[in-house]
Amino acid sequence: MKIGIIGLGWPGQQHVKAISAHKEEASLSAVCDVDTKKLEEFKGQCDTFSDIDEFFAKADTDAVILAVPHQLHETLTVRALHLGKHVLIEKPMARTSVECKKMIDASELNHRMLMVAQNWRYTPWCIAAKSIIESGELGDIQAVRTEWLLNFRDAFPKGSWIYNGELAGGGAITSLAIHNVDALRYIIGEVDEVYTNQLYTDDWSTNGAENWAMCQMKFKNGALGHLFTAYTPFHPVDNGKFHVYGKEGTMFYGEYRGEPGLWIRSAKRSLDSNADYERVDEIRLAPGLDSHPQTNQLKHFIDSITNNTRPESDGREIIKTIELVEMMYASGSKSIPLRLSTGGEINA
């Protein structure tokens, strides 16, 4: 499969690494970035383009990976699909569910794959966590808490599109915690109620991009949820954490005794007296997976195209993550809890 990549920032480079890990099935045939400095290392390796129109006119590709700013997700995805390319689009799928719908329609019309790079779904710990919950080891899930705090200022300079809510489609929830939101749906199940509080204390941010957000949730299965995210915290420590509390066990992804991983304590396990939690054997529960999620993700993309099967993070699945984010923002802007199943106020 000949693959082209548009956008060569950090995520674009992860896709380059993933393609090189699957040399027998895939090759990098073309790259495109408006920043010509980023094209230098690819000269002689594959075709390089600094102009998107030229890329779409000349690049020899079966599939295109899009790792570009959010305001380009819908238009470039639809364009690639209409040209008969399969598309792997970076997260968030798009800024709104209306944009997502147009992408899904283009995928269906052209019979081409549309997969979203919600790469947590391809990490061994996420797959292992889902499998443990489905096994019933933790009993009924009563609560879940997830956080992602990261200071964007090291990576994105003042004036970047990411601080503009109009271009990014939101703030910390959309640009950062979309991973956590999608993982909540993937691991725990569908959310029915949300209540969000947001803060706008970043003088770099405009057009409704929140730099802090907290969201309370109630899942359809009755569990409570809590999401906490920010992109301006001062040296945060709570990056990418996920805690699940079941009636008969507790499990969390994060650092414990200096070691990152998925940790568990449950009524079914007997621990040695020095341990509070046991490290989950992720490899046993997610066999054959690489520690680099984008490598697993690309393999799944290629296999889904080859076998004509629906991928785990198919556009029709991930639009639901965007709809949940929209409901979180609607709750925040109205300062009231909202129910997804009725699309309205809980106390109406």
Ligand X SMILES: NC(=O)c1ccc[n+]([C@@H]2O[C@H](COP(=O)([O-])OP(=O)(O)OC[C@H]3O[C@@H](n4cnc5c(N)ncnc54)[C@H](O)[C@@H]3O)[C@@H](O)[C@H]2O)c1
Region for 261 from its dihedrals, namely left if φ exceeds 0, alpha if ψ lies in -120 to 50, beta otherwise:
left
CA distance to 78, 96, 183, 308, per residue, from 73 (Å): 8, 10, 21, 23
List binders of ligand X among 100-129 (CB under 6 A): 117, 119
Q: SS3 for 52?
A: helix
Among 15, 38, 85, 86, binds ligand X (CB under 6 A): 38
Among 67, 126, 289, 325, binds ligand X (CB under 6 A): 67
Residue (126 or 340) nearer to ligand X, CB: 126
Among 48, 59, 70, 210, binds ligand X (CB under 6 A): 70
Within 10 angstroms of residue 210's Cβ, the number of other Cβ atoms is 25
CA distance to 85, 223, 262, per residue, from 140 (Å): 43, 8, 19
Residue (117 or 133) nearer to ligand X, CB: 117
Residue 44 CB contacts under 8 Å (≥ 6 apart), including other chains: none
Among 4, 7, 249, 315, binds ligand X (CB under 6 A): 7
Among 6, 81, 181, 223, binds ligand X (CB under 6 A): 6
Number of residues that bind ligand X (CB under 6 A): 22
Among 1, 21, 22, 34, binds ligand X (CB under 6 A): 34
Among 18, 19, 28, 32, binds ligand X (CB under 6 A): 32
List binders of ligand X among 317-346 (CB under 6 A): none
91 binds ligand X (CB under 6 A): yes
52 binds ligand X (CB under 6 A): yes
Q: How far is the CB of 6 from ligand X (least distance, A)?
A: 5
69 binds ligand X (CB under 6 A): yes
Phi, psi of 150 (to 5 degrees): -155, 135
Choose the stretch contacting ligand X; rule: CB under 6 A; options: 3-11, 94-102, 308-316, 335-343: 3-11
Residue of 215, 220, 217 lying closest to 190 (CA atoms) = 220
Residue of 18, 8, 16, 10 lying closest to 297 (CA atoms) = 18
Which residues, in sequence order, are bridge partners of residue 213? 198, 229
Cα 55 to its chain centre, rounded Å, is 26
Residue (148 or 219) nearer to ligand X, CB: 148
Residue of 170, 144, 166 lying closest to 328 (CA atoms) = 170
Q: How far is the CB of 73 from ligand X (least distance, A)?
A: 7
Positions that interact with ligand X (CB under 6 A): 6-11, 32-35, 38, 52, 67-70, 72, 90-91, 117, 119, 175
